[in-house]
Amino acid sequence: MREELIVSGRMNPHIDPQLQIWEWHIPAYLFLGGLAAGILFFASYFYIKGKSEEYPTAVKLAPIFTPLLIGLGLLFLLLDLKHKLYFWRLYTAFKIESPMSWGAWTLMAIMPLSAIWAAFNIKSLFPKWDWKFDIVKDAIKVLEEYKTPIAWAIMILSVILGIYTGILLSAFNARPLWNTSILGPLFLVSGMSTGAAAIIILSKSKVERHTFAKIDLLLIAIELFLIIHMFMGFRASSQVQIDASAMFLGGQFTAPFWVLVVGMGLVIPAALEILEMRHKKIPYMVAPVLVLFGGLLFRFIMAYAGQMSRWLY
């Protein structure tokens, strides 16, 4: 008879009956990162397309908030760390196979670029704004000569940031709910949807709101497609992933996910946006607020449910 020794963490009170080592900081960070990625993507894309004046909220106003969103997300991430003084070690090397390494370096690159983009547009939005130091004015003038290359860099980095928020979870093979390749594209599309929703909320232009309602409707359709196929993949996979999906198909996350995330966060906003496009009198704020609510709740549910899914029972 061959004996095998299995080492398990089930006697750890933080792991059994369920793992909740990641608390609210991580899903909040994932939401803010995805939101910032969505806003920055649209800002850079429409600038490159030469539509800055047609979509001023997307290109100029909304990106002003992205340094704050990214900074707040990084603060939440720092608060979650056990050994906070050692975060700098992520920047001593770059490992191409590590999602954490990709995320750390992407955040370090996109944070200053988002601040530079905000600096480009703050004067046009607030005419009385005055940079107190000449060195700042001179630096902005120099950087404006490279505005298009900066926009391309922001667009590429925003896609990496958006997809990283999902790949960060899917890299944890020990958690069956997260162990799916769909999670990266799903988080990217969700982040872009919340970015479009934020632009709709901030915009005063009916043309801009109408355009981004169309964009958001398309993103919601893609998101629903990915969610359905994610669960189809789970049901056709191994027993542990079937069990993980059961938490959403009759289990404890069924109502929160399908009613609040899918229903209120995706289906109802899509229906409202369709009605608005058909010139029905719908308060334009309702749909984007629901999209933001659904995007935030989606990340909380995926973070907590994923930690509860496991291989050993």
Rounded mean pLDDT of the chain? Answer: 87
The beta-strand segments (E) located in the chain are none
List phi, psi (to 5°) of 279: 65, 30
Average pLDDT over residues 276-287: 87
Tell me which H or E stretch contains 193. Answer: helix 183-202
In this model, does residue 195 exceed pLDDT 60? yes
Rounded percentage of the chain residues whose pLDDT exceeds 70: 93
Average pLDDT over residues 74-86: 81
Q: Which CATH number fits domain 25-308: 1.20.1630.10, 1.10.10.10, 1.10.10.1200, 3.40.1620.10?
A: 1.20.1630.10
CA trace torsion 247, 250, 255, 256 (10° rounding): 0
In this model, does residue 160 exceed pLDDT 70? yes
What is the C-alpha R_g of the chain? 21
Average pLDDT over residues 202-226: 95
**Rounded Cα–Cα distance for residues 196 and 203 (Å):** 10
For residues 205 and 60, is the Cβ–Cβ distance under 8 A? no
In this model, does residue 7 exceed pLDDT 70? no
The segment with the largest mean pLDDT, out of 77-81, 177-181, 245-249, 294-298, is 294-298
Tell me which H or E stretch contains 69. Answer: helix 66-80
pLDDT of residue 17: 54
Distance from CA of residue 260 to its chain's centroid?
18
pLDDT category at 87 given cuts 50, 70, 90 is confident
146 to 24, 67, 95, 141, 220: CA distances (angstroms) = 39, 20, 29, 10, 34
pLDDT of residue 276: 87
Q: How is the chain split into domains, by residue range?
A: 25-308
List pLDDT tens digits, range 45-64.
Answer: 999 999 999 999 999 999 99
CA 186, 73, 213 angle in degrees (round to 5)? 45
pLDDT of residue 11: 47
283: tokens are: 């308060």
pLDDT of residue 45: 96
Segment 233-237 long-range contacts (CB within 8 Å, at least 24 positions apart): 233/180, 233/182, 234/177, 234/180
**Rounded Cα–Cα distance for residues 70 and 313 (Å):** 38
Model confidence, pTM: 0.88
pLDDT of residue 3: 60
The Cβ of residue 146 has, within 10 Å, a number of other Cβ atoms equal to 11
The Cβ of residue 165 has, within 10 Å, a number of other Cβ atoms equal to 28
For residues 212 and 200, is the Cβ–Cβ distance under 8 A? yes
In this model, does residue 6 exceed pLDDT 60? no
23 to 138, 172, 285, 304: CA distances (angstroms) = 44, 16, 30, 8
Average pLDDT over residues 33-55: 95
For residues 47 and 155, is the Cβ–Cβ distance under 8 A? no
For residues 174 and 16, is the Cβ–Cβ distance under 8 A? no
List pLDDT tens digits, range 9-29.
Answer: 454 555 555 545 778 888 999
Average pLDDT over residues 285-313: 89
In this model, does residue 80 exceed pLDDT 90? no
CA 255, 261, 265 angle in degrees (round to 5)? 135
